[in-house]
Amino acid sequence: MRMQKGSFYFIDDSFYLKHDIDKKLMQNRETVNGQAHERPCYYAFSDAKNPDIFWCIPISSQTDKYHGIVQRKIQKQLDNGKLKPNCNTIRFGDILGREKAFLIQNMFPVTDKYINNRYIDPNTQNPVTIAPTTERDVLNNAREVLKLVERGYSFIVFSDILKTRTDLLAELQHDRVMAVPSASQSDKAQNQPINMKDRMAAAVDEARQRNADTLPAANSPKDPEK
C-alpha cells in the first residue's frame, strides 16, 4: 500500500519485531476504556533523502496525561528563563470529534511494506483526516524535531530513528536487488512459450521434426532384400 500524505495508518506488528528490538517505540496498541485497540499512526511527510521512507507519528487518546507532560516541560523552560516556552514534541488536535495527542517524541520512519491499512471512519467509511491547521502544526513541529535529531539532539525522541532509517534504506536496496531476475532466468523466460497458442505450435514443430528424422531420405538406395 502506497501511503498518502495527511492520512492515518495502522502499522504491521512485523515492523516492531524487526526494527524495535529494544522496545523503545510506543506499543502498537493502546488501551481505551479497558480495551486494547490498534494504535493509528499519522503519516506526516516523506523523507527528504528517500521518498520511499515515510515519517509517522503515533497518536494517543490519553490527552490528560500528555497535557500534564507538556505543562511540566513548559514550566521547566520558564524556570530556566526562557521567555517563549514551547513543546514541539507533543501536539494536540481533533480526530473524529475527539482530541488526540500527536506524539512527535515517538515518531519513527517506516516503508509501505509494513502498512496494514488506512484508518477509516466507521460512520462514513471514508479515510480519517484532520483539519488543515492541525496538519500544518503537526508537520512543522515534526520537521523541526527531525532536524534537531539530525543535528545531534537525539535525546528529544525515544528511539534511534536515524538508525531505523538507515536500516530501512538498506532493506529497500536489498529488496530491489532481489526483485531483479538473473540473466539465466531472463533467458529462460524469453525461451518459454508465453501462451497456449505458442505451446501448441511448438509441439507441432517438434512432432514434425521427429517424423522427418524417422522417414528415409528421398535419394537413399533401396533395400536389396525387397
Q: For the segment 116-154, what is each residue's pLDDT rounded down to a tens digit?
A: 999 999 999 999 999 999 999 999 999 999 999 999 999
How many domains is the chain partitioned into structurally?
A: 1
> Domain with 30 in it: what CATH number?
3.10.129.130
pLDDT, tens digit, 9 for 90 and up, residues 187-220: 555 555 555 556 556 655 665 665 555 444 444 4
Cell of 158: 525515544
Instruction: Answer whether residue 210 is part of any domain.
Output: no
Structural domain boundaries enclosing 82: 8-179
| Structural domain includes residue 223 | no
Domain presence at residue 225: no
Predicted confidence (pLDDT) at residue 104 exceeds the cutoff of 70 = yes
- Residue 49 domain-assigned (yes or no): yes
Q: Considering only 4-13, 14-23, 24-33, which range has the smallest mean pLDDT?
A: 24-33
Q: What angle do CA 51, 170, 154 make, to 5 degrees?
A: 75
Residue 180 dihedral angles phi and psi, to the nearest 5°? -85, 120
Provide the 10 A C-beta neighbour count for residue 84: 6
Spatial distance between the Cα atoms of 17 and 14, rounded to a whole number of angstroms: 5
Percent of the chain with pLDDT over 70: 78
Q: Which residue bears the cell 514550566?
A: 75
Instruction: Give the Cα separation of 167 and 163 in Å (integer).
Output: 6
